[in-house]
Chain A
Amino acid sequence: MSALRVLVGCKRVIDYAVKIRVKPDKSGVVTEGVKHSMNPFDEIALEEAVRLKEKKVAGEVVAVSCGPTQSQEVLRTALAMGADRAIHVKVEGKDVDAMQPIHVAKILSKIAQDEKIDLMILGKQAIDDDCNQTGQMTASLLDWPQATFASKVEKNNGGLTVMREIDGGLETIKVKLPAIVTSDLRLNEPRYATLPNIMKAKKKPLAVKAPSDYGVEVKPHIEVLSVEDPPVREAGQKVETVEELVSKLREVGLIPSS
């Protein structure tokens, strides 16, 4: 097989370090004036794609983001990290809130067909909705195999050997190409975009499309009734000595007593 065409999904999310705030009307969380970045798992996915390109396993890396105009910022970051070109599927108005992984999966699966993609690498979950669905759903729509929660990806004859993070340990599977991989934390450590690469990225191609270009209607599947603060856990007491701690835990029966 010749060098692979790789698609990477890049979601724009509230930066992981930001302490989010719930809107007073309980309709969602405050996003205005809040720092956003590329979903950390998508950075790992992109890094993996760029490394495959450096190893000449991948030929071209296409970064895709579905979201409002500002999603182009994360695509520029992706281009600066080493993607060759980008596709922004612009979502506007009420569709921004209605957008769910199922819509993104439909769009990505159509792009994969249009662009003759061999390998799609996505983050295992986005840190805003914590859904962990898009990769699996895209694989399903395309009838491709899915190698989720990957911590190691190697090319073999006609396919990939992938080590996956599972409950209680690790698992190795083989998948045929074309395939979908979703990245777990330990797959790699993403690089930082350097200033010269950030400058170069401004000249790389970025196409703007709409969901309708891929025949996808952003039909709402869920209605959010409320978004609220979680119950606050009251701070407890400081204890001075280990002895005091142990006796308190014994009192409430949490550690074996005499």
Chain B
Amino acid sequence: SSTLVVAEHDNQKLIPVTLNAITAANQIGGDVTCLVAGTQCAKVAEECSQIQGVKKVLLADNEAFKGFLPESVSPVVLAAQKQFNFSHIIAGSSAISKNLIPRVAAKLDVSPISDITGVKDPDTFIRLIYAGNAVQTLKSLDSLKLITVRSTAFEAAESGGNGTTENAPEVSISNTLSEFVSQELSKSDRPDLASARSVISGGRGMKNGENFQLLYDLAEKMNAAVGASRAAVDAGYVPNDLQVGQTGKIVAPDLYIAVGISGAIQHLAGMKDSKVIVAINKDPEAPIFQVADYGIVMDLFKAIPEMTSLLDKK
């Protein structure tokens, strides 16, 4: 087999999900090629070529890739596939790859496999369905596989490789269908939710958006990221990009602290692979306690400030 990994980056550096996808590619076996498509992104190609297991990097540098719109990027993936005839095309699960991979797959008449959590063999994969409440093992009957990879289920590939870089097959891109206008990324000094070693999430129990400051104060002491349940997002306390759960981000940090979160199955789907889970909730019956390694039945407005001040003490 031979795998094309569609690298995700910001034209400056690789986004970590790419490293998890490369690990999955290495597990599938065979040669691993990475496609770096972007605008003035030669630096990223260089970085990518040094990841363990990457044999070759295809660099596609074009103004048209601004915003990584799938209408622009998919022709390059298709051209690379046409030239090299890969057996697998994979990418780390993200807003960009979820947008791109199915668009490419439809053109190739392939049924894509979303968000795999395991590779059994080059045709057989494991993924979760029903918000993680069932584990499906499936065999792809397509001769080509298009796959997105759940990053928390695969270690990040390390550097130390020595791949070559060449230009991706030339393809003229004339995307008149869609246009990138602007991006508004939440500014935060905190570690990224998806890759932080510790995550503190708040739920409806936080009562309002201002109270999330309590979590930020604690997160500051722990170098943790702050997340939220869907209930907290729906109630308008925090923006949706903090959402952890079935339809938000999937996280698996070393430490996950659920604060004022009851533990709906949709939320558990996003965090139950965390190594250690702590639940702080005043309702002793809250289902979150069933998955917590440490549970404390207490009013969060008492517990969180107390925890923050304890972390000050040596």
Q: Which of A161, A246, A249 has the most CB of B within 10 A?
A: A249
Chain A residues with Cβ under 8 A from B139's Cβ?
222-223, 225
Cβ of A252 to closest chain B Cβ, rounded Å: 7
Q: Are A236 and B294 in contact (CB under 8 A)?
A: yes
Chain B residues with Cβ under 8 A from A248's Cβ?
294
Chain A residues with Cβ under 8 A from B105's Cβ?
102, 133, 137, 140
Among listed A4-12, A47-55, A164-172, interface-contacting one: A164-172
Which of B95, B183, B292, B314 makes the CB contact (< 8 A) with A235? B292
Q: Are B186 and A173 in contact (CB under 8 A)?
A: no
Q: Are A136 and B94 in contact (CB under 8 A)?
A: no
Q: Interface majority SS on A: helix, strand, loop or mixed?
A: mixed
Docked complex Cα distance between A229 and B135 (Å): 6
Chain A window 219-254, contacts with chain B (Cβ cutoff 8 Å), 1 for yes, 0 for no: 011111111111001011111111101101100101
Question: Is B155's CB within 8 Å of the partner chain A?
Answer: no
Q: Are B98 and A230 in contact (CB under 8 A)?
A: no
Among listed B25-33, B34-42, B49-57, B295-303, interface-contacting one: B295-303
Assuming A130-B131, A221-B142, is B310 touching A175 (CB within 8 A)?
A: no
- Interface size for A (C-beta < 8 A) is 83
Chain A window 118-154, contacts with chain B (Cβ cutoff 8 Å), 1 for yes, 0 for no: 0000001101111111101111110111111101000
Q: Are B134 and A20 in contact (CB under 8 A)?
A: yes
Q: Are B184 and A169 in contact (CB under 8 A)?
A: yes
Q: Are B293 and A185 in contact (CB under 8 A)?
A: no
Q: Are B107 and A140 in contact (CB under 8 A)?
A: yes
Chain B residues with Cβ under 8 A from A134's Cβ?
102
Chain B window 192-231, contacts with chain A (Cβ cutoff 8 Å), 1 for yes, 0 for no: 1010001000000000000000000000011000000010
Chain A minimum-CB-distance residue to B105: A137
Question: Is A256's CB within 8 Å of the partner chain B?
Answer: yes
- Interface size for B (C-beta < 8 A) is 92
Q: Are B114 and A131 in contact (CB under 8 A)?
A: yes
Question: Is A100's CB within 8 Å of the partner chain B?
Answer: yes
Docked complex Cα distance between A167 and B240 (Å): 9
Which of B133, B230, B249, B272 makes the CB contact (< 8 A) with A185? B230
Q: Interface majority SS on B: helix, strand, loop or mixed?
A: mixed
Q: Are B106 and A140 in contact (CB under 8 A)?
A: yes
Question: Is B276's CB within 8 Å of the partner chain A?
Answer: yes
Which of B107, B129, B277 makes the CB contact (< 8 A) with A128? B129
Question: Is A58's CB within 8 Å of the partner chain B?
Answer: no
Chain B residues with Cβ under 8 A from A19's Cβ?
133, 265
Docked complex Cα distance between A139 and B176 (Å): 14
Cβ of B16 to closest chain A Cβ, rounded Å: 11
Chain A residues with Cβ under 8 A from B23's Cβ?
none
Question: Is A110's CB within 8 Å of the partner chain B?
Answer: no
Chain B residues with Cβ under 8 A from A149's Cβ?
95, 99
Q: Are B129 and A129 in contact (CB under 8 A)?
A: yes
Question: Is A204's CB within 8 Å of the partner chain B?
Answer: no
Q: Are A171 and B130 in contact (CB under 8 A)?
A: no
Assuming A221-B111, A221-B140, A255-B311, is B186 touching A169 (CB within 8 A)?
A: yes
Q: Are A246 and B311 in contact (CB under 8 A)?
A: yes
Docked complex Cα distance between A230 and B265 (Å): 12
Which of A144, A161, A254 makes the CB contact (< 8 A) with B254? A254
Cβ of B92 to closest chain A Cβ, rounded Å: 11
Which of A138, A146, A186, A227 makes the CB contact (< 8 A) with B129? A227
Question: Is A101's CB within 8 Å of the partner chain B?
Answer: yes
Among listed B65-73, B82-90, B166-174, interface-contacting one: B65-73
Docked complex Cα distance between A227 and B255 (Å): 29
Question: Is A14's CB within 8 Å of the partner chain B?
Answer: yes
Cβ of A93 to closest chain B Cβ, rounded Å: 19
Question: Is A192's CB within 8 Å of the partner chain B?
Answer: no
Q: Are B106 and A105 in contact (CB under 8 A)?
A: yes
Chain A residues with Cβ under 8 A from B124's Cβ?
225
Question: Is A176's CB within 8 Å of the partner chain B?
Answer: yes
* A-B pairs with beta carbons under 8 Å apart, 29 shown: A20-B133, A101-B112, A127-B131, A130-B130, A134-B102, A136-B99, A136-B100, A136-B103, A138-B106, A140-B107, A149-B99, A161-B181, A169-B186, A171-B184, A173-B69, A174-B181, A185-B230, A225-B124, A228-B135, A230-B128, A233-B277, A235-B291, A237-B293, A238-B295, A241-B296, A242-B303, A242-B310, A254-B254, A255-B255
Question: Lowest 8 CB-CB distances: which A-B pairs, in order?
Answer: A221-B111, A236-B293, A140-B106, A145-B177, A136-B102, A258-B314, A169-B185, A137-B106
